[in-house]
Structure 1
């Protein structure tokens, strides 16, 4: 199974937002950090806002942040929304299936089961879990940590 770039970018946006919570993040910061198109990210951020995963703040100093707790966002839920479908072979869609083996095929049930297991596995992970190493993620991307984390780091010295 291969996910689209849209799913990949959407999850990256959510991971950075979770790592920087409650601070705002900008599309430009993520585009620069990952070396990906601002136009693609704008589409992702817009859709995430429509789905209620993030809230956006307009204007100078604006950006976006998580609108829901990261523990309440399942990776499987996001993938189901960002992918058009999970028809890994054409026979998954009864309306367009042309394979003459369909009534007797043993491959189709195996692939259906594998798809179900794939999604069930992703359902078992939350955004909080995949972004649990948030400081490491931000360091790898050379992004600023949230102000609260910076204050805690200074206090430790």
Structure 2
């Protein structure tokens, strides 16, 4: 099974927001840290907001944050929501299925079982579990704020 780019980026957005809990983050921050275009992010952020995973605030002091606590967001749920429209194989597509074996194919059943196992593995994992006690990830996802960076530079200048 291959995860779509949309789901991959959506997970980056959610992890970034979880790592920066308690403040509004901007699309530009996420784009820089998560290596994604702001245009693509806008579409994904909109979808995540419609699904209730994100809360967005427009305006000069706007941004986004998680729509509910990270421990209440489960990865299997996210993947089902975002990957559901993508058929695992041609035989799962309602419109584009041209396979003449669909009705008798055991591979289709095996693929369906495998997809079920994939989601069942992700179901118990919360967004919080992905970031909690993950110092290397937090180091990447919590960029130094400009004012904090300026304070650090000023402290270094005074000490040196």
Matches within 5 A, 1:7-156: 7-93=7-93, 96-133=96-133, 135-141=135-141, 143-144=143-144
- 1:67 offset after TM fit, Å? 1.8
For normalisation by structure 1, the TM-score amounts to 0.80
Q: What CA RMSD, in Å, does the superposition of the two structures yield over aligned residues?
A: 2.1
SS at match of 1:36: coil
Q: TM-score, normalised by structure 2?
A: 0.79
Q: Following TM superposition, by how much is the alpha carbon of 1:70 offset from its aligned partner in structure 2, in angstroms?
A: 0.8
Q: Using the alignment, how far apart are the partners of 1:94 and 1:45 within structure 2?
A: 28
Residue 2 of structure 2 aligns to a residue in which SS? coil
* More moved, 103-112 vs 15-24: 103-112
Partner Cα separation in structure 1 for residue 142 and residue 22 of structure 2:
18
8 A contact 1:75–1:125 mirrored in 2: yes
Rate the CA distance shift 1:50–1:87 in 2: closer, same or farther, 3 A: closer
For residues 13 and 103 of structure 1, what CA distance do their matches in structure 2 show? 40
Q: Which moved more, 1:45-54 or 1:93-102?
A: 93-102
Contact persistence 2:15–2:130 (CA under 8 A): yes
**Greater CA radius of gyration, 1 or 2?**
2
Higher relative contact order (CA 8 A, sep 6+): 1
